[in-house]
Amino acid sequence: MTLVRSELLKIRTTSTWWIFGLISLPLWALALGFNWLQTDALASGNVGDVPADQADQIQAVSSADSIAANLYTNGQFFGLLIVMLLGIVVVTSEFFHQTVTTTFLTAPHRTAVMLAKLVAAGVLALLFWIVTTVLNLVFAPLILNATDVGTQLDSGAVWRAVALNGLAYLLWSVLGVGLGVLIRSQIGATVTGILLYLGGTIGAAIAIGLLAQRFGDWINELQLLVPSLASTLMVSGTEIPGNPPRWAGAAVLIGYAVVTGVIGVLTIRRRDIS
């Protein structure tokens, strides 16, 4: 517990957290604008000509639950990226500023230190989630009412999506900490993290789409294995036909978080600090 307090104090006494917070705000606003347009299109049924085989999917995402869930988890795409980067910084800044020596002198039990870091990064991630969720609860009803969908605040599916969104924030911060241990260089870990997240999302989506056309729809199930797609799947408000179930997305993401977390802890236990 003292170690967690120390880790939180480390975060609080440097400027990283509020700089990342400031970066998050415009990204959140951008996402809100985009989702507004999307909501508008879906709610009015004005999505253009749709091939027959995708009609089911459009139907699913056009449901009130899905539209509302999408808005109440607004900002997730960049929010997850930000908390992952924060997780990376929690570890790599210790190597960058050589404070890791002092940290391990103060607490020679490195496993405990790493667990404290995981908890601290998780707490910070949940704070980011709380702030974005509060903002979403203020702005999403405005959009939903304007598009005649209704606030949907009495829908269990919406609150489930909000909760799963919190889980996603938590898991991505854990992924970040694990990545930070594996790649000690601050720049190296940050670049790798961003590439994995953005490249992983966009690249994998394109690749899987192409492969699915060539080899059949079962390939679509593979998007589960891409962490960022798994988390998108996890927070989608409703089951979408042709996509794997949401719990599978959650399972995969938890799997990744546990694996990187464990590898991170085991690695740092054995490493020479010089």
- Per-position x/- string for 15-44, each x denoting binding to other proteins as judged by CB under 8 A, each - no binding: x-----------------------------
- The answer to the question of residue 93 lying near other proteins (CB under 8 A) is yes
Instruction: Find the part of the chain contacting other proteins (CB under 8 A) among 4-12, 48-56, 144-152, 251-259.
Output: 4-12
Residue 13 vs 46, nearer CB to other proteins: 13
Residue 108 vs 216, nearer CB to other proteins: 108
Spatial distance between the Cα atoms of 162 and 126, rounded to a whole number of angstroms: 12
Residue 49 vs 272, nearer CB to other proteins: 272
Instruction: Rule CB under 8 A: choose which of 48, 108, 156, 216 binds other proteins.
Output: 108
Contacts of 30 (CB under 8 A, 6+ apart): 78
Least distance between other proteins and beta carbon 118 (Å): 15
Contact 51, 141 (CB under 8 A): no
Task: Select from 23, 99, 36, 103 the least CA-distant residue to 67.
Answer: 36
Instruction: Rule CB under 8 A: choose which of 49, 214, 216, 270 binds other proteins.
Output: 270
- The answer to the question of residue 102 lying near other proteins (CB under 8 A) is yes
H or E, element range at 180: helix 156-182
Amino acid at 207: A
- The answer to the question of residue 5 lying near other proteins (CB under 8 A) is yes
Spatial distance between the Cα atoms of 116 and 67, rounded to a whole number of angstroms: 37
The neighbour count for residue 268, using CB atoms within 10 Å, is 22
- The answer to the question of residue 10 lying near other proteins (CB under 8 A) is yes
- How far apart are the two ends of the chain, measured CA to CA in Å? 27
Structure tokens of 119? 């908890």
Residue 50 vs 187, nearer CB to other proteins: 187
Contact 180, 90 (CB under 8 A): yes
Least distance between other proteins and beta carbon 120 (Å): 11
Contact 176, 193 (CB under 8 A): yes
Amino acid at 72: Y
Instruction: Rule CB under 8 A: choose which of 51, 98, 138, 216 binds other proteins.
Output: 98
Residue 96 vs 159, nearer CB to other proteins: 96
Instruction: Rule CB under 8 A: choose which of 25, 59, 97, 258 binds other proteins.
Output: 97
- The answer to the question of residue 185 lying near other proteins (CB under 8 A) is no
Instruction: Rule CB under 8 A: choose which of 33, 109, 210, 242 binds other proteins.
Output: 109
- The answer to the question of residue 103 lying near other proteins (CB under 8 A) is yes
Residue 7 vs 65, nearer CB to other proteins: 7
Contact 151, 141 (CB under 8 A): yes
Instruction: Rule CB under 8 A: choose which of 45, 46, 52, 105 binds other proteins.
Output: 105
What residue ranges bind other proteins (CB under 8 A)? 2-3, 5-6, 9-10, 13-15, 93, 97-99, 101-109, 270, 272-274
